[in-house]
């Protein structure tokens, strides 16, 4: 295994283009909240020729690592560019070439056959509008009725065969990944021809629900189970022709594969900085879901690292067609300490499982009245939970009677509370909380965030009415909050 060598680049901070053509064959890099690039890879090779008989010329790019000598079969990763982009553009906007050098696999970056737009499935009621010619050139190619006749499906299959004839390719380890429209193309290929692949991944560009489920709610699929990695971006908007709310589209795209792959249990959840990960183990194949906090449409430059290390490195397609799962480069493991509560729920997430909260979590507001002539302003909103839950989740002993209560840790602090009091005693010292203690149904409720962050030195992050507590830097994202809320519903 080789060590990755990073090349310095020349930043283009004035970039305002989707794909600046001057990035090609240069050391220029661009960075914005959605797409980041690396300098043009030295070993990236451009190829042009007739791949499909009678279809004219196509262009594709290959990256063969310096370690390749043909002595043993190596994996093949096919990475699909976004709409209006190119194969070389996908190469600079991902880290696949860097990983190829470290891991020793070959990468194929094809150009879409027509107009830099993949020919993808379109819901029947949207075909005419989506394919109507627009002055700005942003319109989709009309797909054929038969997926087997789709020019880009055929192009990918033909390029796999071409590369298998030129290099020692491990056919049990062929993978596909795409960004935006490239993700839509990857999803299409996976649904129709997934048996060719061992795994598929994509960032942005979820699939229209009418293409995933028929009128009876059954999955539309000819490719069978497949190891899947889905990256979503918290600030990403779903194209309007999908006809559904963003969160619903993201959720149903995930459920399409968890159901098909035979996932029955709850996932392992890990939040590492801005990366929110859920690991689902299915009877037929795993599914990894990643949501990135504060990111716009596109893909992160390290997306390839997540895909390879958590999934592609540990799956292969067996001769009988099944997906064999082995230990990946990075274990699909949830946070050792991960606690989540959701507004209005009587359940919580503790120790990678759903547990009883012992009450109902609610939001309590910190108010300001003084000087507002009878009006009020909200200065903070905090999720409140029973003392008994905090004790069970964080290893303390709780006492609670007659409007007073306490939390005591065997090797840590003792906190004393009183109904209606905004101060607590922490080891006998007076400390103001974020808001006052509240009594409901004979139990004292306080802010979980305050206990975790202000007393125990843990990390707490809140989004969409869900609070997540752990022992390291973690920022809960919107789509992960919705996933957790579904688990606790």
Question: Residue 329: what pLDDT?
Answer: 98
Extended beta strands in 293-350, E state: 315-317, 323-325, 338-342, 347-350
Beta strands (DSSP E) in 38-112 are 44-50, 57-63, 74-80, 106-110
pLDDT of the residue at 83: 94
The whole-angstrom separation of Cα 270 and Cα 467 is 14
Q: pLDDT, tens digit, for every residue of 171-225?
A: 999 999 999 999 999 999 999 999 999 999 999 989 999 999 999 999 999 999 9
What is the tens place of the pLDDT at every residue in 440-487? 999 999 999 999 999 999 999 999 999 999 999 999 999 999 999 999
- 157's CB contacts (< 8 A; 6+ apart) are 193, 196
Which CA distances in Å does 278 have to 252, 291, 298, 426, 443?
15, 9, 20, 36, 33
416 Cβ contact list (under 8 Å, min separation 6): 404, 405, 406, 424, 425
pLDDT of residue 47: 98
Q: What is the pLDDT of residue 33?
A: 87
Residues of the chain above pLDDT 70, percent: 100
14, with CB counted inside 10 A (0-12, 13-18, 19+), is: exposed
Structure-block tokens of residue 398: 């709780």
Confidence of residue 154 (pLDDT cuts 50, 70, 90): very high
Contact 350, 339 (CB under 8 A): yes
Instruction: Examine the pLDDT at 243 and tell me if it is beyond 90.
Output: no
**pLDDT surpasses 80 at 239:** no
User: Quick one: residue 56, left, alpha or beta (phi over 0 = left, psi -120 to 50 = alpha)?
Assistant: left
Ordered DSSP codes for 219-272:
B--SS---EEEEEEETTPPPPGGG-S-HHHHHHHHHHHHHHHTT--SPPEEEEE
Mean pLDDT of the region 247-253: 94
**Average pLDDT over the chain, rounded to an integer:** 96
- Whether the predicted pLDDT of 391 surpasses 80: yes
- For residue 373, the model assigns a pLDDT of 79
Q: Which residue has the higher pLDDT, 125 or 96?
A: 96
Lowest mean pLDDT among 129-138, 155-164, 340-349, 436-445: 129-138
Cβ 121 vs Cβ 141: under 8 Å = no
Tracing tokens 């795409």 back to the chain, one arrives at 178
- Give the per-residue pLDDT at 35: 86
Give the Cα separation of 150 and 189 in Å (integer). Answer: 10
Q: How many residues does the chain have?
A: 489
Helical H segments across 69-147, by residue range? 87-92, 96-103, 127-131
The reported pTM is 0.96
- Do 234 and 293 form a contact (C-beta atoms < 8 A)? yes
Cα–Cα distance for residue pair 456/413, rounded to 1 Å: 8
Kindly report the CATH number that applies to the domain delimited by 10-325. Answer: 3.40.50.1820
Number of H helices, E strands in the chain: 11, 30
Q: Is the pLDDT of residue 111 over 90?
A: yes
CB 322 within 8 A of CB 198: no
Going by pLDDT thresholds of 50, 70 and 90, the confidence category of residue 376 is confident
Given a contact cutoff of 8 angstroms between Cβ atoms, the answer to whether 43 and 2 are in contact is: no
Residue boundaries of the structural domains of the chain: 10-325, 338-488
pLDDT of residue 1 exceeding 90, the answer is no
Which CATH architecture does the domain made up of 338-488 adopt? Answer: 2-Layer Sandwich (3.30)
């Amino acid at each position: 295994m080789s060590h990755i060598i990073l090349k310095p680049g020349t930043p283009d901070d004035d970039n305002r283009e989707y794909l600046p053509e001057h990035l090609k064959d240069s050391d220029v890099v661009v960075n914005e909240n959605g797409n980041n690039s690396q300098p043009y890879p030295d070993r990236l090779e451009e190829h042009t020729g007739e791949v499909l008989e009678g279809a004219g010329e196509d262009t594709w790019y290959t990256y063969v690592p310096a370690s390749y000598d043909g002595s043993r079969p190596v994996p093949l990763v096919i990475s699909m560019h976004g709409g209006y982009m190119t194969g070389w553009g996908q190469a600079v906007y991902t880290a696949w070439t860097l990983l190829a050098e470290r891991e020793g696999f070959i990468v194929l970056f094809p150009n879409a056959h027509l107009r830099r737009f993949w020919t993808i499935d379109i819901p029947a009621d949207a075909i005419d509008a989506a394919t109507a010619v627009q002055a700005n050139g942003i319109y989709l190619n009309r797909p054929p009725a038969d997926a087997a006749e789709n020019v880009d499906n055929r192009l990918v299959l033909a390029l796999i065969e071409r590369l298998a004839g030129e290099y020692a390719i491990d056919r049990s380890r062929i993978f596909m990944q795409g960004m935006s429209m490239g993700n839509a193309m990857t999803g299409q290929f996976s649904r129709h021809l997934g048996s060719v692949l061992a795994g598929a991944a994509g960032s942005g560009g979820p699939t229209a629900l009418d293409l995933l489920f028929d009128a009876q709610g059954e999955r539309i699929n000819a490719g069978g189970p497949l190891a899947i990695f889905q990256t979503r971006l918290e600030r990403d908007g779903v194209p309007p022709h999908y006809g559904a709310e963003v969160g619903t589209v993201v959720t149903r795209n995930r459920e399409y594969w968890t159901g098909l792959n035979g996932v029955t249990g709850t996932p392992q959840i890990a939040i590492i900085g801005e990366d929110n990960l859920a690991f689902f183990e299915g009877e037929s194949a795993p599914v990894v879901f990643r949501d990135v906090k504060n990111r716009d449409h596109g893909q992160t430059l390290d997306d390839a690292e997540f895909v390879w290390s958590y999934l592609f490195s540990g799956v292969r397609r067996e001769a009988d067609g099944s997906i064999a799962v082995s230990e990946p480069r990075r274990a699909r493991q949830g946070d050792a300490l991960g606690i989540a509560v959701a507004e209005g729920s009587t359940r919580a997430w503790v120790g990678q499982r759903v547990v009883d909260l012992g009450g109902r979590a609610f939001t309590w507001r910190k108010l300001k009245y003084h000087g507002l002539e009878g009006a009020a302003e909200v200065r903070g909103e905090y999720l409140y939970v029973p003392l008994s839950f905090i004790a069970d989740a964080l290893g303390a002993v709780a006492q609670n009677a007659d409007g007073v209560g306490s939390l005591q840790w065997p090797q840590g602090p003792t906190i004393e509370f009183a109904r209606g009091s905004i101060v607590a005693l922490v080891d006998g010292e007076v400390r103001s909380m974020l808001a006052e203690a509240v009594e409901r149904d004979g139990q004292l409720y306080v802010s979980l965030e305050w206990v975790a962050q202000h007393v125990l030195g843990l990390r707490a992050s809140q989004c969409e009415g869900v609070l997540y507590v752990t022992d390291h830097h973690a920022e809960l994202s919107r789509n992960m909050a919705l996933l957790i809320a579904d688990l606790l519903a």
